[in-house]
Each structure stands twice: as structure tokens, then as C-alpha cells.
């Protein structure tokens, strides 16, 4: 489970992130910022995934996407990413709740 607010790159991560990615929550926030995270999605999946995320974010909707993610070891794993974009207090910048 993770939660992002606005343009903040840090999320709140459960222990599951370490079991899947090899990064603990602190490492994930430090070493896998949102800019770097984009590069960790497999090149063959990247355009599709980010087009979907941007479209869903624009309407504050739900998403369900599967893609390959590069782990700390350099290997790729398939992730099933489900979540919803939620408006924050100013109703402009969405946060995201996902698992």
C-alpha cells in the first residue's frame, strides 16, 4: 500500500515493498524518486503505463495496470498496480492511494 500527496515524491510504503522490490521503504523513497521510478518500469511497458496513469489522474479516477518493474537486484518482476487518484485540499493536485 502506498499513498502520495500532490507532487511529493515520497510515499508511505508497507513492508511488502521490500519483499517485492528489494528496497526497504526508506531506500525506496530516497533511491527511487518519481523521476527514477519511471525508468524502473520496463521500456516496453513505460509509454502505455504512463499514458494510462496520466489519463486517470486527469479525471481523478481509478486505475488497474500490470507492468514489469526493475528491482534492486536489476531483475524485473510483474506488478499489478491498483489505485485511485484523490484530490487534495485545493482540489487541484491529486494524491494517490494504491496497492
DSSP string of 19-65, one letter each residue: HHHS--HHHHHHHS-HHHHHHHB-HHHHHHHHHHHHHHHHTT-EEEE
Domains annotated for the chain, with CATH where assigned, are 2-98 (3.30.450.20)
Which residues sit opposite 68 in a β-bridge?
A: 78
- The per-residue pLDDT for range 53-62, each reduced to its tens digit, is 888 877 778 8
Q: Which three cell numbers, joined as nine digits, stand for 17? A: 515493498
Cβ contact 29:13 at 8 Å: yes
- The per-residue pLDDT for range 27-70, each reduced to its tens digit, is 776 766 566 677 888 999 999 988 888 888 777 788 888 999 99
Coil, strand or helix at 18 = helix
Kindly state the average pLDDT of the residues 11-22.
73
What percent of the chain clears pLDDT 70, i.e. is strictly above it?
A: 65
User: What pTM, to 2 d.p., does this model score?
Assistant: 0.72
Amino acid at each position: 500500500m502506498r499513498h502520495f500527496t500532490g507532487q511529493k515524491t515520497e510515499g508511505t510504503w508497507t513492508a511488502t515493498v521490500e519483499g517485492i522490490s528489494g528496497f526497504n521503504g526508506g531506500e525506496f523513497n530516497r533511491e527511487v524518486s518519481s523521476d527514477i521510478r519511471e525508468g524502473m518500469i520496463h521500456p516496453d511497458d513505460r509509454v502505455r503505463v504512463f499514458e494510462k496513469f496520466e489519463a486517470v489522474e486527469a479525471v481523478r479516477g481509478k486505475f488497474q495496470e500490470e507492468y514489469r518493474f526493475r528491482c534492486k537486484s536489476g531483475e524485473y518482476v510483474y506488478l499489478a498496480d491498483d489505485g485511485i487518484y484523490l484530490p487534495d485540499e485545493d482540489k487541484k493536485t491529486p494524491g494517490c492511494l494504491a496497492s
